[in-house]
A and B are shown apart, each in its own frame.
Chain A
């Protein structure tokens, strides 16, 4: 019987496994791929680690810190181990994995899911056309270029102005494809200013705001796209349709937590984040089952994703030592100008403060961030600036929540 099984060998999984091993627990980490590091192995650009380590590293370099840490701490690691099912049996979990050696079963007292997110695809957004070859998600292209040295095409249209799309645009530009055009429905790039400047504007890569791909043209292979301009509500403007020739289309239309596996186990999911409902230690609605990293919600920085691992490790320890006292059950909800809040509930009195992450849908200088019970302001936080969809963290005092059933986070 293991104390903890961690599912997923990306940075968040490695971090939580290392922390728990350091605390003396018998930890096993399962990774379906044949190497550790997760998504970061294909993110060869720099910019990782500025929050946690105060310096800018590439994805593989950031991953290596946590891979080394897991090895040094003595985490038992199994590669090419796909978790087929997790079932709760009394006070422990039965885990069935599929490996090259066959089906293997193991038991554990607790489980941490660190299985990250996936990219949205062409079938999740409204886009017309047949299914020609030459349509990719941005992450797939990143993988093709950076691990295999293969370019997706020569004349490329990128749909979506988020970070992954911009980073891929720069790789394509530097690898000298013939043409790149980036289109997106917002009035400016939705990703970090850093990426807008250093990936797109530095190289004068053409882009068209308030424009979307309405149709992908071509039967067997992509021959072009039909572009159309959109208004502020992203509705197509008649008469602005335009045919644009290209041989490949790259979709960078967002990431979504990979929470189906947790739902199979019976965990409840938040419709706002698409990740599991969690408490302040990132424990799901199932006792002894925790989640970390991009599975909880999509983080803008891997540094912040990894922070959840350190917090969850405390929670797992409390669970294993039977120190958890879940006697509060206070709900945390998004209020005015807020799209998502995690954690969605606060269970324990213990601890002075806890970290809450929220995603505003407003751009504002010196906004007031208020923790409200009805109309009463329980606590007020200040930020220098918040930007639409950019994740923010605040540290909320626990004592202000006592006696409440539901509190709301507002940005004004």
Chain B
């Protein structure tokens, strides 16, 4: 089973050059297309488990804006992004909210919380 090699292409984001990396992911991750060591390290990490911070908004009541910007506190697995979005959809919070306040403790089984990106005062 470990003979299977997945090939994935993506852009290196570690410098403005943006090398097109080709990852060959089997038991080991082989990085091609990089032009420096930084790209190789980044490629390997990305090959093992690409992770992203997910920013979105939730509905908020009695606040200045109808939406409160929130994000995952830490980066989560790229393939969990859609699950996170589905979990966050339908959440309604009430003002006031403080920056950094936890909106969801453990989002979509990632054990990462969703936090508020800013303060939002109660209005009315």
Binding site for B on A (CB under 8 A): 35, 41, 44-46, 56, 58-61, 63-64, 145-149, 171, 174, 176, 192-194, 196-198, 201-202, 365, 384-387, 390
Instruction: Please tell me if B113 contacts chain A, counting CB pairs below 8 Å.
Output: no
For B13, what are the chain A residues with a Cβ–Cβ distance below 8 Å?
A: 192-194, 197-198
For B64, what are the chain A residues with a Cβ–Cβ distance below 8 Å?
A: 35
Find B11's partner among A35, A145, A174, A197 (CB 8 Å cutoff): A197
Q: List 23 A-B contacts (CB under 8 A).
A: A44-B57, A44-B69, A45-B55, A46-B55, A46-B71, A58-B55, A59-B117, A60-B99, A60-B117, A61-B117, A64-B119, A146-B57, A148-B66, A176-B85, A192-B18, A193-B13, A193-B16, A193-B18, A202-B78, A202-B81, A365-B17, A365-B35, A385-B17
For B110, what are the chain A residues with a Cβ–Cβ distance below 8 Å?
A: none
For A386, what are the chain B residues with a Cβ–Cβ distance below 8 Å?
A: 16
A99 to chain B, nearest CB (A): 19
Find A60's partner among B35, B54, B118 (CB 8 Å cutoff): B118
Indicate if the CB atoms of B17 and A387 lie closer than 8 Å. yes
Interface residues on B, range: 20 to 34
CA of A198 to CA of B18, assembled, Å: 12
**Centre residue among A46, A149, A193, A365 by max chain B CB count within 10 A:** A193
Given the contacts A41-B118, A174-B85, A387-B16, A58 and B11 also touching, CB distance less than 8 Å: no
* B38-63 to A contact mask, C-beta < 8 Å, 1/0: 00000000000010111111010000
Indicate if the CB atoms of A196 and B99 lie closer than 8 Å. no
For B50, what are the chain A residues with a Cβ–Cβ distance below 8 Å?
A: 202
* B80-91 to A contact mask, C-beta < 8 Å, 1/0: 011001000000
Indicate if the CB atoms of B16 and A192 lie closer than 8 Å. yes
For A35, what are the chain B residues with a Cβ–Cβ distance below 8 Å?
A: 64
Indicate if the CB atoms of A44 and B65 lie closer than 8 Å. no
Indicate if the CB atoms of B17 and A193 lie closer than 8 Å. yes
Indicate if the CB atoms of A44 and B55 lie closer than 8 Å. yes
Indicate if the CB atoms of B18 and A196 lie closer than 8 Å. yes
Work out how many contacts link A and B, with CB atoms closer than 8 A: 85
A333 to chain B, nearest CB (A): 24
Indicate if the CB atoms of A193 and B69 lie closer than 8 Å. no
CA of A287 to CA of B71, assembled, Å: 44
For B67, what are the chain A residues with a Cβ–Cβ distance below 8 Å?
A: 146-149
CA of A146 to CA of B55, assembled, Å: 10
For B118, what are the chain A residues with a Cβ–Cβ distance below 8 Å?
A: 41, 60-61, 63-64
Q: A201's closest neighbor in chain B, by CB?
A: B10
Indicate if the CB atoms of B57 and A58 lie closer than 8 Å. no
Indicate if the CB atoms of A390 and B69 lie closer than 8 Å. no
For A147, what are the chain B residues with a Cβ–Cβ distance below 8 Å?
A: 65-67
CA of A342 to CA of B82, assembled, Å: 43
For A174, what are the chain B residues with a Cβ–Cβ distance below 8 Å?
A: 54, 56, 81-82, 85
Given the contacts A193-B18, A202-B52, A64 and B10 also touching, CB distance less than 8 Å: no
Q: A387's closest neighbor in chain B, by CB?
A: B16
CA of A296 to CA of B59, assembled, Å: 36
Which 4 A/B pairs are nearest by Cβ-Cβ distance? A193-B18, A44-B69, A60-B118, A194-B13
CA of A399 to CA of B67, assembled, Å: 53
Indicate if the CB atoms of A44 and B10 lie closer than 8 Å. no
Instruction: Please tell me if B12 contacts chain A, counting CB pairs below 8 Å.
Output: yes
For B1, what are the chain A residues with a Cβ–Cβ distance below 8 Å?
A: none
CA of A140 to CA of B81, assembled, Å: 25
Indicate if the CB atoms of B66 and A149 lie closer than 8 Å. yes
CA of A192 to CA of B18, assembled, Å: 8
